[in-house]
Every structure is written in C-alpha cells, then in structure tokens.
Amino acid sequence: MAEIRKVGVVGLGAMGAGIAQLCVEAGVETVGREVTLELGARAQGRIAHFLTRKVEKGTLTQAEREAAVARLVITADPSDLADCDLVIEAIVEELEPKRALFAELERLCRPDAVLATNTSALSVSAIAAAISSPERVVGMHFFNPAPLMPLVEIVRAEKSSDEAVETGFAFGLRLGKTPIRCHDTPGFVVNRVLIPLLNDCIRVLDEANVTPADLDTAMRGGAGWPMGPCELVDLVGIDVHVRATEALHSQLHEPRLAPPERLVAMRDAGLLGRKSGRGFFTYDK
C-alpha cells in the first residue's frame, strides 16, 4: 500500500472543498487545484469558515484550526501536483474533461502516485482508460456534505490494482470515514438506489399534487429520512443530479432514471439549489 504524505485535490467545488477540508483536518499536506486562484481562494474561505464554526462549537481548538488551514496550499498550476502521493479528482461531472485531466496527471505525477476520481455516476474504467497505467486509478466516491457524511465508496475499476484499491480504502479510514469496497457498476452502491428514488420523489410532487415542503415533511416523518428529498436535491445541486441521472439512464435504460421534466426545467431556468440561492427553496448565498 502506498504511503500518503501529500494529497492533491483537483476541483474545489462543494465536493472538492469538502474533501480538502477532510484531508487537512486529518493532518495531511494538501494541494488544492482550481482553474483560477480566485476560485481557489473562495473554496479556502469556505473551508476556513467551517473550521471556525468547529472552534466556536468546541470540537476543534484554535491551534488545530490554524494548523489545518496552514496545510492547504491553493494553486492554479497543475504542475504543483507533481509530488503528491494521491490525487483526488472532483471536477465537472463529464467524461471528456475527466479523461483529459487524468492524461495530464499521468504526465505530471510520479508513476507510483494513486489517481482517484470522485465521480458519482460515470464509469471509473472509462476514465482510467485515458491513461497508460490504468491500474493506479480507483474511485473514491464521497457524499455531500463530504465533511459530515460518513461513507466513502472505494470503487474497483476493471484494471485497478489491489494496491490502489487498498490505498484508497486506508486513506478513507485515515480521513475518519467508513469506507466500503465495490465494483465499477453504474451508480456504484448508493447512487444506484438513491438516484431513482429521488426521481420518484420528484415525480410524486405532481402525481400527488403535494408541495415540496409537504413532500419533505412526509419523507422525514414517514420514512425517517434526515433531510427531505427536495432539500437534498437542492443540496446536491439540481444540475448535478440531472447530469448523474442522465449518466445512469444512458447505461441502464430504466424509465425511472430518465431525468424528471420538472428538474430539467429548473436546471434550464438556473434554479440549481443552494449554490444558486434558489431551487425548491430559497437560501442565503
């Protein structure tokens, strides 16, 4: 198993920033790469905010917070990832940009570095096929919000080596997560079940003529969900959910996986959920 001293996180949106936060809190030197330094600084600000909240709530000391913040280096230059032992990709959920990034990582990183993708619904094997050493590619699929959700799925692609899989698993444990091992099937474990279920919930809004608030109350109070489905899709991002269900639909062809029209219309109108300030509900940005 590879020893992980330094980690790179590529893409510092909601998922990438959450993963970078976990890494620095676990004491790991972390390079966070964004397209621009401005976007990187924004993610750094969000991470610093959540760590400050932990100090205010007494779950982190001020000194621990300072040390964690100091472990994060923000860059826009991919060559700063060259000496990382593990790079976790969390960029846009589209195959071609991910494949291009992995090809670049193969050129830049040491041959023994493990390359992980946080893809939620694309094939890890298809991403790995972009490079000549696919054995070092593995899926590390975190859940939103990454700092709070315990699970990480460690996905074995067609050519993943045991070493890459076990390195991902051990690193998940080091981040304080509960990792599970699974194969590279569409949606892996959780999204294979959760995405069609969320689509059903959205369709029920119109079928049962129920408001989003009442649907959420129903699923919290009648099914024990910690968060209602509309609140959850707002958290994940309407655009992210539509893209994930499209990816699953194109692989599995189940009618339930076709994106609900209501979500497509919301996405097209720019109602993306929490990140845009409005989805099913409204939020302070």
Interface contacts to ligand 3HC, rule CB under 6 A: 18, 50, 53, 120, 143-145, 147-149, 191, 194, 226-227, 232, 236, 240, 244
Residue 125 falls in the annotated catalytic set:
no
3-class secondary-structure state, position 99: helix
User: What is the C-alpha to C-alpha distance for residues 115 and 164, in angstroms, rounded to an integer?
Assistant: 8
Q: By C-beta, is 1 or 252 nearer to ligand 3HC?
A: 252
Nearer to ligand 3HC, 77 or 200 (CB): 200
What's the CA gap between 104 and 252, in Å, rounded? Answer: 30
Residue 64, judged by CB atoms within 10 A of its CB (0-12, 13-18, 19+), counts as: middle
> Is 29 a residue of the active site?
no
In the complex, least distance from residue 64 CB atom to ligand 3HC, rounded to whole angstroms: 15
**C-alpha dist (Å) from residue 194 to 7, 11, 44, 143:** 29, 24, 30, 12
Catalytic residue among 141, 160, 231, 241: 141
Give the residue at shortest CB distance from ligand 3HC: 120
Residue 137 or residue 240: which is nearer to ligand 3HC going by CB?
A: 240
Q: How far is the CB of 83 from ligand 3HC (least distance, A)?
A: 27
Q: Is 209 among the residues known to form the active site?
A: no
Q: C-beta of 114: minimal distance to ligand 3HC in Å?
A: 20
Please identify which of the residues 118, 120, 123, 160 carries the catalytic annotation: 120
Contact 93, 121 (CB under 8 A): yes
Q: Which of 118, 123, 125, 191 is catalytic?
A: 191
Strands 72-75 and 6-10: unpaired
> Is-catalytic flag, 118?
no
**Whole-number CA gyration radius for the chain:** 19
**What end-to-end distance do the CA atoms of the chain give, in Å?**
42
**Cβ 123 to ligand 3HC, closest distance in Å?**
14
Q: Determine which one of 125, 153, 231, 241 is catalytic.
A: 153
Active site amino acids: 120, 141, 153, 191
